[in-house]
Amino acid sequence: MTLALVLGCAGLLLGVAVLAVAIGRSAAATPVVYGLCLVASLVSCAIGVQHLLAGSAPLSRVLPLGVPWLGAHFRLDALSAYFLAVVGLGSFAASLFALGHGEHEEAPGRVLPFYPAFLAAMILVLVADDAFTFLVSWEFMSLTSWALVMAHHRNPDNVRAAYVYLVMAGFGTLALLLAFGLMAGPDGGYAFMEIRNAHASAGLGALVLILALIGAGSKAGLVPLHAWLPLAHPAAPSQVSALMSGVMTKVAIYGFVRIIFDLIGPPAWWWSMLVLALGGVTAVMGVLYALMQHDLKRLLAYHTVENIGIIFIGLGLALAFKAHGMPLAAALAMTAALLHVLNHSLFKSLLFFGAGAVLTATGERDMERLGGLIRLMPQTAFAFLVGCAAISALPPLNGFVSEWLTFQAILLSPRLPSWGLRLLVPAVGAMLALSAALAAACFVKAFGVTFQGRPRSPAAERARETDRLSLAAMFLLAVLCLIVGVTPGLFIDALAPVVHAAVGARMPAQLGVPWLSIVPIAESRSSYNGLLVFLFMVISGTLAASAIHRLASDRLRRAPAWDCGYPDPSPLTEYTASSFAQPIRRVFGTVVFHARERVEMPTPGDIRPARLSVSLHDVVWEALYKPVTSAVNFAADRLNALQFLTIRQFLSLVFGALVILLGALTIWP
């Protein structure tokens, strides 16, 4: 019944898509479409939560669709339910935001039909229970999001972004296709049930792992397959960017978990090394890329890459512990990863909403032309600040909890018997810590340059606070960030069935623990209580403030900035995003991006201004993608010569083929 309801939601959304095509022109289209999406995603989220909390048994049903003799299998188990809840929540928020924000859309006809279809596709991926249905929904998801990225197609950059995205998505899907082909075997046991029962051999499993890493990783944005992500996510309308970054990447994670922890069976220990290494590199690279950006939405997109890395670190640890038969530790790591899935979807959507609000208010994505918005759009600024604090893993917000859990999982790893992991895990831990610190730095930059200081452009001066519904969406997410941060125990308990299904154990129940604090293993070992920390900070902060205001002075005088005595009113003298990032660029960038700075200092007496030029290289792109493209072009050029043969030469091709085949016949036994 519940499952039918989920499918009903998907069906409704598809229907809405068709409806949108029909009424796309009219003004009522936007509220109607997004309203219906709002309802559908709320329902599916509710179903997910209910199924998860009730801990009910997996539901499944078969529809006479898809591969004819197989039918389309659908199944709602704990894992699907959890991700369904996350996706539903994300799309709910996005739809709410879009209800307000969608009014500013200049090409609604190119967004409205694809938006619901996109949501439907994501829901279908989560409940699909056979390879064909899964891949159809998966690729349909890519296709619809491609169309959404293409929405503002008059900008050539967007067209290019969409193209790169589509090709990468196709690449990933084909990899998954091969993976499923491997698991299903030559006579096509496509149903997940059959795949589960058919136990894959070790080598086969390894191949599947690599293919799954390529397939799901390219969708999630795992370095080095991330290249499309920072291009495509920002190009889409902001509610879609939020969906793609905050939600679709999670669907990719779901795909990986489904394949590796559910379908393929017991893992080999070294798989985890691959996953861990990739995760660590992704986390650090992602945040370093982000630091070098001054396009607000692209910066956020790169942070998605970073967070995906963190999630994969968690998954890798879970894999390692599972392979070595340490279910409790595996449960801890898995919980950390899954909790971070939720957290990231929360604050990344929030941040993209904020960026979208800024974009519509100023028409600018370039931070160097923003600034001072905190005075013009205070509420947006506040929500965005909460998001920044959360993604920077600051207590008492939610980002910290999942990273804390990941650290706790890392601290259990010395018990692992295999040496490789023992050497790798601490390094990964260092990478995790590094990425966390850099993320904080990056969001000081993001918030400081965008919202604080003085406006750097007329557009920034004219900014106005965004509409109510968009704000409602942002504050909803901000509050959720805080709630997850202060009462993580509830969510950890809710995750228990999912984790148990994945690794065969669960974390100790957190509800029994007094004061709502969380205890991964044992209280003597480690514990954390977000609520208490939160209360402490609030109390001591207000205490200090009130005390000072009462006992000492509360007088205040506005004056020009002091700035060591020579303030300059022109916003040009402000610190810009790139100048803010300069120290870190010098520390890390010189190695990672071959960052070079050149200063042209004119000779004394020369009145030309001095120039500082910075050059960065996207190493991954140049090492991986450039060669591929050039190879394709080379092949295309060479083969293209064959278009220009004469008829006689074509005939001689036929003739040659004939002679060769006849010759083959003579030697054929």
Give me the least distance between CB of 160 and other proteins, in Å please: 8
What does the per-residue mask of binding to other proteins show for 14-53, with x meaning CB under 8 A? ----------------------------------------
* Residue number with CB closer to other proteins (488 or 497): 488
* Residue number with CB closer to other proteins (598 or 648): 648
Residues 309-348 within binding reach of other proteins (CB under 8 A): none
Residues 6+ apart with CB under 8 A from 134: 125, 128, 180, 192, 255
Residue 396: asked if its preceding bond is cis (omega within 30°), the reply is: yes
Residues 562-601 within binding reach of other proteins (CB under 8 A): 562-564, 567-568, 571, 573-575, 579-584, 586-587
* Site membership for other proteins, residue 269 (CB under 8 A): no
- For the chain, how far is it from start to end, CA to CA, in angstroms? 62
* Site membership for other proteins, residue 447 (CB under 8 A): yes
Stretch near other proteins under the rule CB under 8 A, chosen from 75-83, 136-144, 267-275, 489-497: 136-144
Q: Which of 4, 206, 210, 385 binds other proteins (CB under 8 A)?
A: 385
Strands 72-76 and 59-63, how do they pair?
antiparallel
Residue pair 394/481 in contact (Cβ under 8 Å)? The answer is: no
Distances (CA, A) of 566 to 82, 184, 237, 563, 572: 57, 72, 43, 6, 14
Distances (CA, A) of 318 to 235, 308, 526, 551: 34, 15, 19, 54
Residues 491 and 506: their CA atoms lie apart, in Å, by: 13
Give me the least distance between CB of 381 and other proteins, in Å please: 8
Distances (CA, A) of 504 to 265, 347, 353, 588: 12, 30, 38, 41
Tokens of 628: 């591929």
Closest by Cα among 317, 285, 321 to 304: 285
* Site membership for other proteins, residue 605 (CB under 8 A): no
Residues 48-107 within binding reach of other proteins (CB under 8 A): 64-69, 72
Give me the least distance between CB of 444 and other proteins, in Å please: 4
* Residue number with CB closer to other proteins (6 or 284): 284
Q: Which of 55, 266, 363, 378 binds other proteins (CB under 8 A)?
A: 378
Residue pair 252/304 in contact (Cβ under 8 Å)? The answer is: no
Residues 353-372 within binding reach of other proteins (CB under 8 A): 371-372
Closest by Cα among 129, 99, 86, 89 to 36: 99
What does the per-residue mask of binding to other proteins show for 453-482, with x meaning CB under 8 A? xx----------------------------
* Site membership for other proteins, residue 550 (CB under 8 A): no
Residue 615's beta-bridge partner residues? 596
Residues 176-205 within binding reach of other proteins (CB under 8 A): 177-178, 180-182, 184-188, 190
* Site membership for other proteins, residue 379 (CB under 8 A): no
Instruction: Calculate the CA 403 to chain-centre distance.
Output: 16
What does the per-residue mask of binding to other proteins show for 498-527, with x meaning CB under 8 A? -----------------x-x-----xxxxx
Give me the least distance between CB of 124 and other proteins, in Å please: 10
How many residues lie near other proteins (CB under 8 A)? 161
Residues 190 and 2: their CA atoms lie apart, in Å, by: 24
* Residue number with CB closer to other proteins (153 or 500): 153
Residue pair 637/624 in contact (Cβ under 8 Å)? The answer is: no
* Site membership for other proteins, residue 391 (CB under 8 A): no
Residues 395-414 within binding reach of other proteins (CB under 8 A): 395, 400, 404, 407-408, 410-411, 413-414
Q: Which of 339, 449, 463, 469 binds other proteins (CB under 8 A)?
A: 449
Closest by Cα among 306, 167, 147 to 236: 147
Give me the least distance between CB of 291 and other proteins, in Å please: 9
CA angle at residue 44 from 41 to 49, to 5 degrees? 125
Distances (CA, A) of 452 to 356, 370, 456: 17, 9, 10
* Site membership for other proteins, residue 621 (CB under 8 A): no
Residue pair 309/435 in contact (Cβ under 8 Å)? The answer is: yes
Q: Which of 22, 509, 591, 651 binds other proteins (CB under 8 A)?
A: 651
